[in-house]
Amino acid sequence: MQQPFRTICLMYLVVGAWMAGKNQDTQTALLATPAPLTTAERVWMAEGELVGNLASADNQASSAKTPLAHHSTGSACWPRFRGPNGQGQAETEHLPVQWTEQDYLWKLQLPGSGHSSPVVCGSRLLITAAQEDGTLWLVCVDARQGKILWQKNRSLDRHHLHPYNSYASSTPAVDKDRVYWAYAQPKRYLVEALRLQDGQLIWQTDLGPFESEHGFGASPIVAEDLVIAANEQDGQSSIIALEAQSGRVRWQCPRRSEKTAYATPCIYRPSQGPPQVITVSWAHGPSGIDLQTGKPLWELPILKYRVVGSPVVVGDIVFCACGVGGVGKQMIAVRPGNPATGTKAELLYEVPLPVPYVCTPVARGNLLFAWADKGGIVTCLEAATGKILWREKLGGDYFSSPILVGNRLYNISRDGQMVVLAAENEFKLLARFPLGEGTHATPAVANGIMYIRTHTHLLAIAGPKSHPASPAKHPAKAPSP
């Protein structure tokens, strides 16, 4: 029963949700192994338990029209903003380069608009949407059919937002049992856990007032048994770890305040020493916090502007950026500190302008691709050295972050142009085509399907083996409060 973990990972990649409904104790025994973990396996475990023992409703749901097995050429879980550990990487190679409106598996109109990105666990997709009166929706969708399974709403006090912000800008996080979402208004910042099966509230934790000139937008993550919430605001700031099962505060790490930061944390797992929560803000720069204790381990306060984009870890290097006025002004590569080995944090290099502000970079091996918001200027560089291999201007403005799918880069401009590039050391534009509506969100990829959120719709696209279900064309109807 105690097979190596990497064998089990391959099994999940091949058979998708085959383990659904199996005994949880059996799964635990299968996962137990004394073999050392690779970096990719450590990242997988950082996102929580593998998908498999999904809610019983999923076991009973019919998938005859669009079975996930037809698309299961990649992970069944895209559990947070930009997927596993925020890397923005998907393994499937069967997604099309270009498509039309007729090629979607399904299209669903949401009960409002917003900028949050979809997250997926097995056959369930979660997304938020909001209305101008402050009504905020969390919507659970059958990822196979595009049908709403349940939706819950909350009423926010109307308050000032940046014109590019939304009441629904924070992306949820999900594990096999629960979905976690965060929302804030000036009076309070709330994090909630809802049961994935039916949306029943499990716990709610109030983190206190939230002060920001531009509104809220940070996204929670799940790491091991904790939900990490970044609370970098104009008022009293902190990074907070909540117990995933109960919502109880495990630790709270105080932070200095210097303009609200919108970065979503990620996890760095050094070969020695404890896992680190990597956070970025103007006041602290990139920094590492002990995942289990909340102890600050290192920081490098060298950023000069507001942080909106999220950090990304490539090997043992952390990349992050900052900017002002909608333009990236500074992007750095940092060697993380590690008290366990006596290693101090070190600036390795700065990337020459133009650089991203909102868009988070993505890597393929040792290649890093940085997508500047203004003008769509894409830079390919060697992650280890900072050597620029190519830099090309695509045009357009971007808030979505690029994702790597197989050997291709996909990103969407603010006016809804999908752009596809080869993720190689030579520039190759593979496709550019309209989606029909603008977006600020980043696509998700799970079960071999790409899920795209535009301002008011969800779209699902798969490769040539897809079997489209009847599209859901009508707006979701909000249930009575």
DSSP notation for 69-119: GGT-SS-SEE-STTSGGG--EE----S-S---GGG-SEEEE-SSB--PPPE
Residue 290 forms part of a structural domain? no
Residue 82 forms part of a structural domain? no
- Residue 59 CB neighbour total at 10 angstroms: 12
pLDDT cut 70: percent of the chain above it: 81
State phi, psi for 68 to the nearest 5 degrees: -65, -25
What per-residue string of b and e applies to 3-22 under the rule 16 or more CB within 10 Å gives b?
A: eebeebbebbeeebbebbee
- 313 alpha carbon, distance to own chain's centre: 14
Q: In Å, how far are 139, 233, 292, 297 from 268, measured between CA atoms?
A: 31, 23, 13, 12
> Helix 24-31 and helix 5-15: axis angle, to 10°?
130
Where residue 332 falls among pLDDT bands split at 50, 70, 90?
very high
Handedness of CA 233, 236, 237, 238 (dihedral sign): negative
pLDDT cut 90: percent of the chain above it: 74
Query: Nearest to residue 134, comparing CAs of 192, 216, 205?
Result: 216
In the prediction, which pLDDT does 333 show?
98
Residue 189 forms part of a structural domain? no
Range of weakest confidence among 87-96, 247-256, 345-354: 87-96
Contact yes or no for 149/139 (Cβ under 8 A): no
**pLDDT of residue 281 exceeding 80:** yes
Residue 409 forms part of a structural domain? no
**pLDDT of residue 424 exceeding 90:** yes
* Residue the block writes with tokens 């006090």: 157
Domain that holds residue 35: 5-70
> Helix 39-46 and helix 5-15: axis angle, to 10°?
70
Q: Quick one: 285 exposed, middle or buried, by C-beta within 10 A (0-12, 13-18, 19+)?
A: buried
Query: Widest CA span of the chain, in angstroms?
Result: 59
**pLDDT of residue 123 exceeding 80:** yes
pLDDT digits (tens, 9 = 90+) for 206-265: 999 989 888 888 999 999 999 999 999 989 999 999 999 999 999 999 999 999 999 999
Residue 190 forms part of a structural domain? no
Give me Rg for the CA atoms of the chain: 21
- 352 alpha carbon, distance to own chain's centre: 26
Q: Collect all residues with Cβ–Cβ distance below 8 Å to 432 and sequence separation of at least 6.
A: 394, 417, 418, 419, 420
Q: Quick one: 202 exposed, middle or buried, by C-beta within 10 A (0-12, 13-18, 19+)?
A: middle
pLDDT digits (tens, 9 = 90+) for 376-385: 999 999 999 9
CA–CA separation, 443 vs 403, rounded Å? Answer: 7
The mean predicted confidence, pLDDT, of the chain is: 85
Contact yes or no for 388/379 (Cβ under 8 A): yes
Contact yes or no for 320/293 (Cβ under 8 A): no
User: Which range has highest mean pLDDT (48-62, 147-161, 209-223, 417-431)?
Assistant: 417-431
**pLDDT of residue 69 exceeding 60:** no
In the prediction, which pLDDT does 191 show?
98
Number of domains in the chain: 1
Partner residues linked to 268 by β-bridges? 276
Where residue 60 falls among pLDDT bands split at 50, 70, 90?
very low
Residue 103 forms part of a structural domain? no
pLDDT digits (tens, 9 = 90+) for 440-475: 999 999 999 999 999 999 999 998 754 444 444 444
Residue 46 forms part of a structural domain? yes
Range of weakest confidence among 30-39, 87-96, 163-172, 378-387: 30-39
**pLDDT of residue 315 exceeding 90:** yes
Where residue 480 falls among pLDDT bands split at 50, 70, 90?
very low
* Residue the block writes with tokens 């600050």: 296
DSSP calls for 221-259:
EEETTEEEEEE--SSSEEEEEEETTT--EEEEEEE--SS
CA–CA separation, 23 vs 335, rounded Å? Answer: 42
Residue 51 forms part of a structural domain? yes
Partner residues linked to 139 by β-bridges? 127, 151
Where residue 74 falls among pLDDT bands split at 50, 70, 90?
low
| Secondary structure of residue 322 in the 3-state scheme | strand
